[in-house]
């Protein structure tokens, strides 16, 4: 690693990506761990372990590949856990299932046909999927204005004005405006100081795993499927859509190994990310794409710090309206959205398939626990295949 590769843009966008990645879904992770039997101490330990695991994994993979590899906890997996009925054996059995899920991810990385399958994803569909994933978040600045014009408008105005002066100053200005409106415009509860002081640093809790067939079929296998389909495949596609050439086996085996390391402390799974990857693969992370890997390294350190101080982090974030956090992230992703939407619909021959992929990915649907991004790729691929068969007949 060359420390000269770090730029103000990559450092800032890495910190922002870490903040967004952690705060946007930590509540789902906590809810999911509690649903499968974790105590409050075990759930806090699991949250901390997952944040540290994804931070370390992102740093290692980005250093090895020299690409901005973004790693996150499995948010769809946590949502799956939240709807999983109680199983015998309690949280120890769930931890056993987490370990098995990590092993399955490693095996997927070592399975050559899977790498070839990912390599066949057309660029138009990858970009359409990325645009669909980003659409909802890019609408957040305007939803924030509807939520409260006095809170949402300053963020958007700061972004517009600063961006006209220097495009790389737009997001820092929006974040500064966010901090100002939070401190001046949000009414904190009377006991907010005691909330921030409580449980500042969670304690790691080692859970001895137990294994059962019920947990394998109720947790391990479904968790593996939704993590691969909703997170890892879109995460790889985002890198491909931004003209990177990711080597699939080391990325998947890396996330699988760090999933194994975090599982005994309550972490359910870590995987490749899509949204935060989009933040760090675009021009917001710096003009030189060869140096943008440093943004993912900064993001990894941010995850580790947020995990170590998960108590105070989660308490502070709960005081701020979620839509304002999403608004800052959405503004940071507008350039990535516009670039991907142009690339998706550039070729007239693939536009129908790209349109279906985009709409399915943006719809927010979830079938069998798998997000619309995966089904969008499947539907778009079927349309392309049907077109080719029609031309050959």
Q: Which residues contact 257 (CB under 8 A, 6 or more apart)?
A: 57, 102, 106
Mean per-residue pLDDT over the chain, rounded? 83
Per-residue pLDDT at 56: 96
Note the pLDDT of residue 272: 92
- pLDDT at residue 37 in the model: 85
Residue 368 confidence (pLDDT): 67
312 CB neighbour count, 10 Å cutoff: 17
pLDDT in tens, 189-241: 565 555 555 556 678 888 899 988 888 887 888 788 778 877 888 888 888 88
In the chain, the number of structural domains is 1
Range of the domain at 224: 3-392
CB atoms within 10 A of CB 240: 18
Give the length of the chain.
393
Its pTM stands at 0.75
User: How far is residue 52 from each of residues 180, 240, 269, 300, measured CA to CA in Å?
Assistant: 29, 26, 12, 8
Q: What is the mean pLDDT of residues 247-257?
A: 91
CA–CA distance, 33 with 80 (Å, rounded to integer)? 10
Q: Is it the case that residue 275 has pLDDT exceeding 90?
A: no
Question: Under a CB-based contact definition with an 8 Å cutoff, are residues 43 and 300 in contact?
Answer: no
Query: What percentage of the chain exceeds 90 in pLDDT?
Result: 22
How many CB atoms are located within 10 Å of the residue 149 CB? 11
71 phi, psi to nearest 5 deg: -120, 140
User: For the residues of 213-262, what is the DSSP string, one character each?
Assistant: HHHIIIIIHHHHHHHIIIIIHHHHHHHHHTT----HHHHHHHHHHHHHHH
Mean pLDDT of 36-40: 83
Looking at residue 109, its pLDDT comes to 87
Distance CA 36, CA 30 (A): 10
- Select the more confidently predicted residue: 86 or 307: 307
User: Is 33 exposed, middle or buried (CB count within 10 Å of its CB: 0-12, 13-18, 19+)?
Assistant: buried
More confident residue, 58 or 279: 58
């Amino acid at each position: 690693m060359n420390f000269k590769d770090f730029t103000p843009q990559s450092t800032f966008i890495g910190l922002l990506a870490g903040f967004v990645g952690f705060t946007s879904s930590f509540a789902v992770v906590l809810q999911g761990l509690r649903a499968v039997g974790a105590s409050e101490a075990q759930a806090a330990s699991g949250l901390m372990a997952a944040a540290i695991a994804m931070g370390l994994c992102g740093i290692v993979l980005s250093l090895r590949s020299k690409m901005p590899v973004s790693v996150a906890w499995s948010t769809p997996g946590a949502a799956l856990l939240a709807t999983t009925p109680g199983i015998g054996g309690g949280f120890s059995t769930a931890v056993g299932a987490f370990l098995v899920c990590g092993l399955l991810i490693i095996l997927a990385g070592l399975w050559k046909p899977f790498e070839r399958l990912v390599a066949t994803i057309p660029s138009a569909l990858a970009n359409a999927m990325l645009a669909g994933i980003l659409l909802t978040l890019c609408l957040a600045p305007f939803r924030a204005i509807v939520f409260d014009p006095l809170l949402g408008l300053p963020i958007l105005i700061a972004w517009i004005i600063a961006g006209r002066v220097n495009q790389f100053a737009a997001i820092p200005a929006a974040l500064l405006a966010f901090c100002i409106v939070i401190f001046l415009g949000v009414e904190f509860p009377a006991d907010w100081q005691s909330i921030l002081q409580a449980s500042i640093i969670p304690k790691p809790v080692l859970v001895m795993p137990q294994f059962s067939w019920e947990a394998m079929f109720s947790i391990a296998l479904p968790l593996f499927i939704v993590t691969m389909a909703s997170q890892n495949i879109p995460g790889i596609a985002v890198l491909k859509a931004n003209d990177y050439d990711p080597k699939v086996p080391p990325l998947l085996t890396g996330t699988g190994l760090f999933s194994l390391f975090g599982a005994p402390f309550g972490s359910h799974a870590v995987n490749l990310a899509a949204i935060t990857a989009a933040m760090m693969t675009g021009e917001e992370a710096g003009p030189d794409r060869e140096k943008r890997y440093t943004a993912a390294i900064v993001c990894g350190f941010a995850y580790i710090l947020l995990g170590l101080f998960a108590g105070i982090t989660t308490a502070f974030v709960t005081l701020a309206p979620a839509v304002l956090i999403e608004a800052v992230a959405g503004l940071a992703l507008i350039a990535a959205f516009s670039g991907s939407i142009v690339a998706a619909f550039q070729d007239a021959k693939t536009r129908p398939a790209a349109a279906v992929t985009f709409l399915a990915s943006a719809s927010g649907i979830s079938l069998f626990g798998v997000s619309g991004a995966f089904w969008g790729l499947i539907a778009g691929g079927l349309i392309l295949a049907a077109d080719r068969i029609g031309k050959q007949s």
